[in-house]
């Protein structure tokens, strides 16, 4: 059995939320706002990234597991974060950022290096 669970590792939940809030100010990747809205509704990062368990008795429209995420460490406090949301196979967006944090998990810099809109 394969493990398809998405994870924010090697960054912490605090770093991930700080990253989302930081890039939501300037970047135009709608997926960031979607995830922040779910956090504001009281969901945890783990709940959101786990996706929904669809009711097999109804016809499913859309993607029950829309978020994509990959975090790669580049240096001690610098990471490449690929993040997006595709609620439908033909609709969604994503971005890839190079993000630097300080020792207190605050974002020092976040550069959007690539984005995709479909």
Tens-place pLDDT, residues 54-109: 555 545 556 667 899 999 999 999 999 999 999 887 889 999 999 999 999 999 99
- The band of 41, judged by pLDDT with boundaries at 50, 70 and 90, is very high
Q: Are strands 91-101 and 78-88 parallel, antiparallel or unpaired?
A: antiparallel
Residue 26 reports pLDDT greater than 90: no
d(CA 24, CA 39): 14
d(CA 83, CA 44): 17
- Segment 37-56 shows an average pLDDT of 82
Q: Are 10 and 79 in contact (CB under 8 A)?
A: yes
Q: What is the residue-averaged pLDDT of the chain?
A: 87
pTM: 0.85
Residue 112 reports pLDDT greater than 80: yes
Q: Are strands 107-117 and 91-101 parallel, antiparallel or unpaired?
A: antiparallel
Residue 97 burial (C-beta neighbours within 10 Å; 0-12, 13-18, 19+) = buried
């Amino acid at each position: 059995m394969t493990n398809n669970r998405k994870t924010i590792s090697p960054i912490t939940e605090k770093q991930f939320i700080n990253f989302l809030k930081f890039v939501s100010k300037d970047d135009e990747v709608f997926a960031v706002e979607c995830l922040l809205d779910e956090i504001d509704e009281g969901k945890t990062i783990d709940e959101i990234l786990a996706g929904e368990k669809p009711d097999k008795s109804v016809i499913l429209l859309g993607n029950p597991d829309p978020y994509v995420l990959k975090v790669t460490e580049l240096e001690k406090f610098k990471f490449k974060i690929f993040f997006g949301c595709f609620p439908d196979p033909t609709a969604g967006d994503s971005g890839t950022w190079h993000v630097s944090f300080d020792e207190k998990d605050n974002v020092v810099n976040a550069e959007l290096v690539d984005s995709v809109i479909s």
